[in-house]
Structures are given as structure tokens and as C-alpha cells.
Structure 1
């Protein structure tokens, strides 16, 4: 048997062949030998591997093959692959990789999930594509947020941001807050503030809850022309459902800056609309006191007396030295955007001049043109953007101080001290808007140029400056009722080229120099404040660097210091004083350095 079997096995070789790897090949090719000298390696990378693999997986999803879980939402059943869902969603990753029973369940019911939204989002996990429109974006974002599909949530936020409109921005803000989408919430609120005057005309505004309206009214970023707009919007909301909303009036009225309304408006509008509500009467009385007792305003300061950013106007930096022949251009600062932009040019070049603002007009007084001292006066109309000429002063003056004393369209302008090209001056002139003439008033006790001049509580102050011999500490106060100057407590430091601002019942002396102006040192960074009630000066936080010829102004309730000269260069630095923190914070810089610029606050652009 065995011999027969062997022969049979041997004979079977004719029918069954065993083929070796190198059989039938030439001997020299039976083995592939790489040169030991090359020792090369190569990494193959298929750039389309991920795409083709996911495409194949999507094919299995469409044909419902190899699926290991079924998601159930309502009547909708969606077979899917756990590994794909877990790779895209933190929610599913926690569900399928943790110790929950869903990790090994083959059917999972998702409560309170929209079936169509779920199907679209599962499809997105396989394709990376989803369609957003005004009808589906809200439910898709809600579902994506629940399932922690963060990329879809962000796409929905971007979609809503592009759809912002005065008619829907408040609703989008509320929805974003509910979904904890902080970026969209902030942008929707910012849009609501910027377009507030249009927002209040739509149904969403009228449908706000009282706390939602409160969050709007308390923002200083509301873009309104005046506080009247804010009060009127509040009353529109209350009167839409007066029976149920009048009880919220006292709380919401606290968020309106009543002291910043005119006394006429307070009596004619606010008193008539809210005076019958007992809790509102103290707020109205506070605003009336603000108008009737200006000398006590420092005691009445609150959030209601701080103007909104859009109503404080804009800042103009006019002329000054820029390192060349002197600047004749103007730059305008917008506090809402923290930006400077070119504005207009002066009719002619002036240095060391004074500027006052009256009724949407800039009054540019004196100065020098580089060769001679001027007595000319020009007027720039902020409404028509045109220049005109006013009657000249009696005396040629550069380095003078200019201020408006009083309120109203006919408040007088004072031109104080300066230099006439030969001597330092102690004389003072007053512009009468009715007669359109300049007249001489009582002179100061001492001559002074490059002094700081400001009006405070119905009186005029001349601070520091130079008298030819040295820089001055002395301060004088002019009372128009008596036409007389009196001496006040001197500053703590001598200051020539000083800038002075009146704010909150105080005078602020900013920068200056205490050595000759043409010397390398002696410039000051320190700032001091004068209290007329105690007739005393107090040192405050210093500027970021020493300088004189700083331009400064009160914008809203904040002091802004602009430019200056540090002894080496003309500066473009701009700083704002924070009284509560006793510190200076830098703002956007000027486009070019300048010193001795006239810096004034002007009404918002809507008004001119």
C-alpha cells in the first residue's frame, strides 16, 4: 500500500507543482540585492487617503452597513457608526468611551432633540458640510450646542452675526446668551448699541422684559444724539403696556441720565410723564439740583451725571508745532472707536494761538504766523465747514490763554495775557457776541505768557506761565461781577507752557516746564489739582513722560492730554486721566507728533 502510495505520490508531481519564488527566473534575478552603499528609505504618503477613507465610510453610512448604533429622535431612526460620532462630538465621545450603559447599547433614544436637525448634524459628521438658512440655523445651533459639535456651533454664530439687523439684533443677543455663545452675544449687543435709534422702532424692543431693557439702558455705549432719545425710548416701552409696565418705571428711570437733560425738558417732558409716580420724584429733584446748584455738582456726581460715549462729542487737535514750519491741519478723535482721523485745515498757519468753542463754532484767536504776532480772529463753522473773519483784538498776542466764561450763545470769550512780540502782557480782552467787538477788562496783577486759562464756577483762572524772568507758580482769579483779579494759592511747582483743565469743580494743571523752555531739562510729568473751596493744590498721578506744551481738554467727564514736547521730539502720545484710579491710560496716538496744539471738545458729528 505504501509503495503504491509512494509511486502514486511521485506520479502526482506531473499534476501538482510546487513553485518556489525563484523558480523559472534567471539566477542573477532570483534575489533582489540593494546596494549597501545606498541604504535608502522612502515614506509613501497618500494625500487623498483621509478623504477617500471617509468617503467610503460615508458610503457605508448611506447603505446602513457596518453601523453599530441607532440614534432615535421621535419617530426618526438613524443608523450610524460610533467611532465617527465620537470623533466629531465631545458629547458622543463621552457617551461611547465612558462607563455609561450607552457605551455598549446598540439603540439610543435622544430626548427633546429635533429629528431633522439630528439627521443634518449626523450627516455633517460624515461629510463636514451642512446647510444653514434663516429657517434652520436656530434649531441647528441649539442641537449642535447640546451635542457639543463646536464647529457647527461656531458656523451658526458666524451666520447669525452676518444676519444682524435692527429688527432682530435683540433677539439674537437673547438667544446667544441662552446658548452661552459669549462672542455672538457680545457682538449682537454691540450692534444693538450702535443702531439703538433704529432698534427702538421694532417689535423686539417693545417685547423686551424689564431686566433686558435695563441691561440696554445702563450701557454708556448707546449710540444716541442726546439723553432725550434714551428717555423717550423708555417711555415708548412703558406705554406699550402701561398697565403692567409702569411699576418698573422707577427702577428703569434710574438708568436714564436725567441731570444731562435740559432744565426745560425736565419740566416739560419728564415731570409731566413721571411726576405722578412717587418713587420717580427724587430722581427728578436730583436732576433739577444739578442745574440750579452748579457749585455743588462735585457732590452730585454719579453714573447719571456721566455722559454716554456718543453724546460727549469728539476731540479736535488743531495746529501746533510738528517739527517743521508748524501744523495747520486738524485731527479729530472719536472716543467710540478710539481713532484719530484727518479733519480740516486752518485758513492760515498759526502758532501759540487760543481756541474757544461756541455754538458749533471754533473761534481761533491770535497767535503768530512764524514772523509776526497776530491780533486776527477767525471763526470756523462746524455745520457748514467754512471759515469767516471776526473783528481783531485790540492787542497782538501769542502765547495767550483763551476761555469761555458762562453758558449760552452769548457767553463772553476772554483772551488773557500772552506776548505781543516785544513784551509779556498782563492785559485781558473780552469778546462780546452781541456787539461783535473786543473790549479791555481789568488786567492781571502780573504779566504772563504760555499760562493755562480755564473757567470754573463762574470765574476765570490764569495759572502759571512765564513772565520773561522765570516760570511762575502764581495763580490769579478773575470775577466778572467785580471786574477784579485776586491771587490764589500758588501751585506746588513752577510751570511754563502749562495746560489747565476745569473738571468736576477742580482745576488740573498738566505738564509744563520749570526751567527755560529752550533748555534740555526741566520738563514736568507731574499733574496737580486745585480745589477752590480750600484754596489748595494736590499732586496727582504723573503723565507717562515729562513734557510741556501739552494740549488738554475735558471730553465728557474725562481729561485728555494730547501731544507735547519732551525737549527732544514732538510727541504723538495721547492719555486719559482716570480720577477714580488716579492714573493715566494711553489712547490711540496722533498720526503725527505735535506740541502746543489747541485741543477742544466739539459736538458729535450728527449735529454738524
Structure 2
């Protein structure tokens, strides 16, 4: 009997670890014993994207019975991955909880004193949890104050994770190592950019990298095997048919063969090691339905089957060997969506969006396509493939055109803990 009870307890803890984001807002979570909660929170495989969410969950549990649970904080706080918080967050939120309690105070002091670089020798609270990739949305619009959003799985909504001042917009943005790379676009007024501006996500300092061969506003670009490929765009006049490649390791640009069409505001994505370009606007603002494929191995372009409808600024997402093209602009906002099979070189239409828009950020979350924001839009829609329909979800907290990057969760921890302190002051 004792063995069966122990096994049931282990299964319960394992379930809580795997479903932590969903459980922390339940009544059941508030009734966990300190011993059970400590085992759950200390697990390296805890299914949560951000350490701030874990801390806030502990605070919710603590506030539920503050008088009796204060003594348990010295056991629970060191179960957090304290090394993942910004130092200001620890000073603002964690240290005031203890009132001189020596156990957590010693753990917190070791955060600044530790010089151990071998992860195997670090205490658990200085280690990161098992690494996971998180999606961040960066505003790519005219506003000077650029919010970064993340999807909070425990709250089931997008929320601000960070903000930074940056006057550029209409750029391509990528994450590489600990940096955000902003390629081309424009500054205030009519000034177009030929630059790559690099934001260090640890120090929040900027540096400028090697420039492109020409200024590119409304370009499309992709990151593939440590190289950025930039296509088309314009400098305030007719669009370009030119393309070039930036090698991040060498900080050098290289010209590529020109595209078959002049275009700006096109969509682009990577599939099976090749780069696909969709639509855009050509000379005299003519919307294109043309699709091309660039093969970096052969350095050649191949024309693909045209889309059913011409469009600029579409959302583009890849799911299960299909490329989805969503919304866009063609003398007005477009709701139409379609998907492309690269193997068959064929298109088929899918259900239109509920709300027509262009400049959509299209991403895949949990095997579902999400269509986020767009020009002057807060709208979020999720595509239900089984029923071929779009479902409206909780809107974004900020309207506009966003770009998506995938980053390791230790960067999310840094950004969110910094932002939490800023919002409190």
C-alpha cells in the first residue's frame, strides 16, 4: 500500500511539472504542501518559459495563507533559478521577503560572489532550467518606443516583456546568439537605411555592423545557416530586384544574382534549405502574384507557380511541409489566405481571415498558425486546420506590425525581470 501511495505521489508531481503553466492559476495549486511545491519548482524540466512566472506563482501560493506560509519561503525561494533574474529584480522583490533570514540571504549573496564557470559545480539555484526556445514579438512600426511581447502561457495572453527606444522601422529583425540584428528599413522622415544595427540583449548596448550595398526600405529577408539574405526593397523610388547575403561570422556582404522581379513589401521564408519569395509590390506599385525560389547551394533562382491572388506585405508561416500566405495588401486590405505545397508546386485556397489586414506576423504555436497584429491592428487569429476556419483570440496589448524572433528562455528571464522592476518604479 505504501508503495502504491508513493507511486501516486510521484505521478502527481510529474504531472504538475509538465503542466505547471496551466496549474498555477488553479485552486489545486493553492493547496500544495511546501514539500510538494519545493519538488515541483526545483525541477529542471519544469514546463514554464519564464522564471518570473514561477516567482509570481509562488507569491500567489504564499499570499493565500501568508501568516502560516512565511516560514516556508526560506525553503521555496532557493528552489527558484535565482541566477536567471536580473539583480535589480532580486533587490526589489525577493530580498524584502526574508527580514534577515540567513538561509536565503546566503543564497542571494552567492549570486554576486560566485565565480564558478563549470555548470556541474554550481548550486542548483545558479543553474538555468532545461533550455527551451521562446517566441518574442518586436514592434516594427513607426512608434519610437518599441515593446517586446511574449506569450505568457499561464495567463494565456501576449504581454509586454521589455521596451526599448529605437526610431527605425520597416526593417528585418533576427536573433543571433545574444543579439538582435535590425537590417535596413528607415529612420524618421525619408531616411532609408543600409545598416545592420545590433542590440546586445545582456548589456542593452548598440553597435553597427557592415553596411549593405544599397539602402533597403520594405525589404524582405531571412536567416539561414548563420547568414542573412536580403531581397528587394526600395530607397524612396522604384523597387529593387537586387539581393545580397551577409555572413554574420565575417561581418561581410556579398551580392547575389538579381531576382526575376523588382519588388518591395514581399513575404519570405525558408523551407528545405531554400528561400521562397512571395508577391510584393513592383514598379508603379503593381501588386505581384509571382513566387520565386532561391537555392543558396546553386546560387540560382527558379520561378514557382503564382499565388491565386496578388498581394504585398503578407504573413508567411511554414507548417507540416506547407507554406501559408495570409492577408496582405492589394489596393486595400486582404483577408484571403492560401497555402503552397513546394513539393507539388501547387496552391490551394484556405478560409479567409475574419479581419482583413496587412503586415501580419504569422507564426506557428503548438501546431497551430497564429496571425498576429498588422497595420493598425490588435487582432490575433488562430487557424483551425481541421475545420478550415480562423478563430479570434485575445488581442495584443499593443497594435501594429510585429516581427517575431525565437530566443532561449534565459534571455526572456533577463528581459522580463528587468521590465518588472521598471514597471514598479
TM norm. shorter chain > 0.5:
yes
Contact (CA 8 Å) 2:144, 2:166: kept in 1 or not?
no
Rounded to whole Å, the distance in 2 between the matches of 1:391 and 1:195 is: 49
Contact (CA 8 Å) 2:274, 2:293: kept in 1 or not?
yes
> Cα distance 1:405–1:314, how it changes in 2: closer, same or farther (>3 A)?
closer
**What is the aligned-residue RMSD (CA, Å)?**
3.3
- Summarize deviations over 1:38-67 as a string: whole Å, max 9, x none: xxxxxxxxxxxxxxxxxxxxxxxxxxxxxx
> Cα distance 1:381–1:581, how it changes in 2: closer, same or farther (>3 A)?
farther
| Range with greater deviation from structure 2 (582-591 or 496-505) | 582-591
Rounded to whole Å, the distance in 2 between the matches of 1:376 and 1:192 is: 54
Paired residue for 2:21?
none
> Cα distance 1:413–1:557, how it changes in 2: closer, same or farther (>3 A)?
farther
Contact (CA 8 Å) 1:315, 1:555: kept in 2 or not?
no
- Summarize deviations over 1:571-591 as a string: whole Å, max 9, x none: 111222333443333333222
Rounded to whole Å, the distance in 1 between the matches of 2:37 and 2:404 is: 26
Rounded to whole Å, the distance in 2 between the matches of 1:331 and 1:420 is: 27
Paired residue for 2:350?
540
Question: Is the counterpart of residue 445 in structure 1 residue 260 in structure 2?
Answer: yes
Contact (CA 8 Å) 1:192, 1:199: kept in 2 or not?
no
Q: Report 1:415-430 matches (<5 A).
A: 415-430=230-245
Rounded to whole Å, the distance in 2 between the matches of 1:422 and 1:512 is: 21
> Cα distance 1:312–1:435, how it changes in 2: closer, same or farther (>3 A)?
closer
Of 142, 146, 160 in structure 2, the residue corresponding to residue 329 of structure 1 is 146
Rounded to whole Å, the distance in 2 between the matches of 1:600 and 1:553 is: 10
- Summarize deviations over 1:491-543 as a string: whole Å, max 9, x none: 0111112122223222111111222xxxxxx3211211111011011111222
Rounded to whole Å, the distance in 2 between the matches of 1:224 and 1:341 is: 13
Q: Residue 600 of structure 1: CA displacement?
A: 2.8
Q: Residue 431 of structure 1: CA displacement?
A: 0.8
**TM-score by structure 1 length?**
0.47
Paired residue for 2:160?
342
Rounded to whole Å, the distance in 1 between the matches of 2:14 and 2:254 is: 61
Contact (CA 8 Å) 2:289, 2:311: kept in 1 or not?
yes
Contact (CA 8 Å) 1:553, 1:600: kept in 2 or not?
no
- Summarize deviations over 1:265-287 as a string: whole Å, max 9, x none: xxxxxxxxxxxxxxxxxxxxxxx
Q: Residue 359 of structure 1: CA displacement?
A: 2.4
Paired residue for 2:48?
223
Between Structure 1 and Structure 2, the one with more strand by share is 2
> Cα distance 1:464–1:532, how it changes in 2: closer, same or farther (>3 A)?
same
**Unmatched 5+ residue regions in structure 1?**
1-165, 174-182, 202-216, 226-309, 516-521
Paired residue for 1:577?
383
Paired residue for 2:278?
463
> Cα distance 1:534–1:387, how it changes in 2: closer, same or farther (>3 A)?
same
Q: Report 1:1-80 matches (<5 A).
A: none
- Summarize deviations over 1:141-197 as a string: whole Å, max 9, x none: xxxxxxxxxxxxxxxxxxxxxxxxx99974999xxxxxxxxx7557779x9999875
Question: Is the counterpart of residue 587 in structure 1 residue 401 in structure 2?
Answer: no
SS of residue in 2 equivalent to 1:524: strand
Question: Is the counterpart of residue 413 in structure 1 residue 228 in structure 2?
Answer: yes
SS of residue in 1 equivalent to 2:41: helix
Question: Is the counterpart of residue 597 in structure 1 residue 402 in structure 2?
Answer: yes
Contact (CA 8 Å) 2:373, 2:399: kept in 1 or not?
yes
Of 318, 324, 330 in structure 2, the residue corresponding to residue 502 of structure 1 is 318
**TM-score by structure 2 length?**
0.65
Between Structure 1 and Structure 2, the one with more helix by share is 1
Contact (CA 8 Å) 2:233, 2:263: kept in 1 or not?
yes
> Cα distance 1:170–1:184, how it changes in 2: closer, same or farther (>3 A)?
farther
Contact (CA 8 Å) 1:316, 1:602: kept in 2 or not?
no
> Cα distance 1:352–1:199, how it changes in 2: closer, same or farther (>3 A)?
closer
Contact (CA 8 Å) 2:13, 2:39: kept in 1 or not?
no
Question: Is the counterpart of residue 477 in structure 1 residue 293 in structure 2?
Answer: yes
Q: Residue 388 of structure 1: CA displacement?
A: 2.3
Rounded to whole Å, the distance in 1 between the matches of 2:366 and 2:204 is: 23
SS of residue in 2 equivalent to 1:440: strand
Q: Residue 320 of structure 1: CA displacement?
A: 1.1
Rounded to whole Å, the distance in 2 between the matches of 1:467 and 1:399 is: 12
- Summarize deviations over 1:424-452 as a string: whole Å, max 9, x none: 01111111122111111111011110000
Question: Is the counterpart of residue 377 in structure 1 residue 202 in structure 2?
Answer: no
Q: Residue 342 of structure 1: CA displacement?
A: 3.1
Rounded to whole Å, the distance in 1 between the matches of 2:35 and 2:234 is: 52
SS of residue in 2 equivalent to 1:549: coil
Contact (CA 8 Å) 2:146, 2:165: kept in 1 or not?
no
Greater CA radius of gyration, 1 or 2? Answer: 1
Q: Residue 420 of structure 1: CA displacement?
A: 1.7
Q: Residue 387 of structure 1: CA displacement?
A: 2.7
> Cα distance 1:346–1:465, how it changes in 2: closer, same or farther (>3 A)?
farther
Contact (CA 8 Å) 2:232, 2:240: kept in 1 or not?
yes
Paired residue for 1:65?
none
Paired residue for 1:358?
176
Rounded to whole Å, the distance in 2 between the matches of 1:491 and 1:171 is: 47
Rounded to whole Å, the distance in 2 between the matches of 1:439 and 1:194 is: 54
SS of residue in 1 equivalent to 2:329: coil
Contact (CA 8 Å) 1:328, 1:350: kept in 2 or not?
no
